[in-house]
Amino acid sequence: MGFSTEIYDSALSTIRQLKAAAESEAKERHRVFCELCPEYAALENELTKTGSRLMCSIFDPSSDIDACVADLKKINDETQRKMRDLLSANGLPADYLEPKYHCSKCSDTGFVDGVNCSCLKSLMKKAAFERLNMSTPLGICTFDSFSLENYPAEAPGGLSPRKIMEKTYLRCRSYAENFSLSSPSLLLQGGVGLGKTHLSLAIAGKVIDKGFDVLYGSAQSFFNKIERERFGKAQSADDTLALLLSADLLVLDDLGSEFTTQFTVSVLYDILNTRLLAGKPTIISTNLNMEGIEQKYSERILSRIHGNYNRLQFVGKDMRFTLRRVKSEKN
């Protein structure tokens, strides 16, 4: 997976800050402990002298270097034992004065044997997710701000739109609250302005809060970005398609409103099929019915969705029109 230089530099800067913080905290623990236990500082001072003793032996033609090294090792081992005993006597572990790095693999350097460490890769991926989600109003569209009062309560000959939407709302909320990597994929279907975007955003926000990697965006914006990157029109080296394929949860909003080409159909199939094979849940919101999906895309894509997605119906009147009317009546 490729990332832009900006994302790489940002992640590496974060790693370096973590390393500096860990070492600064260790230095402060060392200072405080040496003040409380001067004997420890004295033993530490003894250790620093062994290096100069060894150098003196090396440059002394009459000395037995092997014997000197053996003696110094014995002295060092005993000194280190005493230092550990002092830590233990104060109720502290042997590594108390060592830096507590966030990553044990690379000690917060970002690299293992010259290769990017998994912690650096994780930070780059997180930064890329945050960049893609940057323009998404996750904080505005929540479950608490979703109102069933906007749906008609009348039910001539069946369940009212409000009752149907109450069930849809509860299923979406339960999905978000109980989300796991084995959660099913969802297909949110219904006309314009019926709350599909609101509830899909609410799910995304809740799942992000649970610590999962979530990508949310319109199908059009994702397809445009992938096309620019694929054909060298983008300024960055980001790999949006790879992020879409790897996200714990992908939310494709407003599928069907984009301008469809052979390229977008191919990309859509790749996304749906790859994520299904990997067992990764996806949420699709669309104004299209099943027949419309087949006509706009293909029978292959319809079969991927029809057999593998739980369908949630959105019914009622366009909420945006209703809200504008209520606002005008108040004025």
CATH number of the CATH domain containing 152 = 3.40.50.300
Question: What are the φ and ψ backbone dihedral angles of 318, each rounded to 5 degrees?
Answer: -50, 115
Helix (H, G, I), strand (E, B) or coil at 53: helix
Q: Do 58 and 137 touch, CB atoms closer than 8 A?
A: no
Residue 240 within a domain? yes
State the Cα angle at 124 between 121 and 125, rounded to 5°: 85
| CA gap 95, 329 in Å, rounded | 70
Identify the band that residue 290 occupies on the pLDDT scale cut at 50, 70 and 90: very high
pLDDT at 265 over 50: yes
Whether pTM > 0.85 for this model: the answer is no
**In this structure, what DSSP letter does residue 183 have?**
P
Q: Tokens 């790879």: give the residue.
A: 242
> Does 247 share its domain with 312?
yes
DSSP 94-112: TTTTS---S-TTTTTSSEE
Mean pLDDT check: name the lowest of 2-16, 249-263, 284-298: 2-16
Average pLDDT of the chain to the nearest whole number = 87
> Does 74 share its domain with 137?
no
Tell me the HSE value of 76 on the side-chain side, using a 13 A CA sphere.
13
pLDDT at 327 over 50: no
Strand partners, 252: 217, 284
| CA gap 212, 214 in Å, rounded | 6
Task: Give pLDDT tens digits for 125-145.
Answer: 888 777 767 767 767 789 999
> Does 145 share its domain with 228?
yes
> Does 254 share its domain with 308?
yes
Range of the domain at 187: 133-330
> Does 180 share its domain with 303?
yes
> Does 91 share its domain with 164?
no
pLDDT at 150 over 90: no
The percentage of residues in the chain with a pLDDT greater than 70, rounded to a whole number, is 88
Residue 313 within a domain? yes
In the prediction, which pLDDT does 74 show?
87
> Does 218 share its domain with 283?
yes
Query: Mean pLDDT, to the nearest integer, of 73-96?
Result: 92
Query: Mean pLDDT, to the nearest integer, of 102-120?
Result: 94
Mean pLDDT check: name the lowest of 47-56, 147-156, 176-185: 47-56
> Does 275 share its domain with 145?
yes
pLDDT at 26 over 60: yes
At 220, which amino acid appears? Q
Residue 127 within a domain? no
Query: Mean pLDDT, to the nearest integer, of 87-91?
Result: 94
Residue 112 within a domain? no
Task: Give pLDDT tens digits for 198-247.
Answer: 999 999 988 888 888 888 989 999 999 999 888 876 555 568 898 899 88
> Does 182 share its domain with 273?
yes
Instruction: Name the more confident of 70 and 293.
Output: 293
pLDDT at 84 over 80: yes
pLDDT at 78 over 50: yes
The percentage of residues in the chain with a pLDDT greater than 90, rounded to a whole number, is 61
> Does 74 share its domain with 199?
no
Structure tokens at 240: 């949006």
In the prediction, which pLDDT does 135 show?
64
> Does 185 share its domain with 317?
yes
Residue 218 within a domain? yes
At 50, which amino acid appears? T
Domain count, the chain: 2
In the prediction, which pLDDT does 331 show?
47
User: Quick one: residue 108, left, alpha or beta (phi over 0 = left, psi -120 to 50 = alpha)?
Assistant: left
Structure tokens at 172: 């979406």
CATH of residue 66: 1.20.120
> Does 284 share its domain with 200?
yes
Identify the band that residue 326 occupies on the pLDDT scale cut at 50, 70 and 90: very low
Residue 253 within a domain? yes
| CA gap 15, 74 in Å, rounded | 38
Which residue pairs from 140-148 have beta carbons closer than 8 angstroms and sit at least 24 positions apart in sequence? 140/201, 141/197, 141/198, 141/199, 141/201, 141/202, 141/205, 142/201, 142/202, 142/205, 143/169, 143/172, 143/173, 143/176, 143/199, 143/202, 143/206, 145/198, 146/195, 146/198, 146/199, 146/202
Domain boundary among 58, 77, 101: 101
**In this structure, what DSSP letter does residue 155 have?**
-
In the prediction, which pLDDT does 126 show?
81
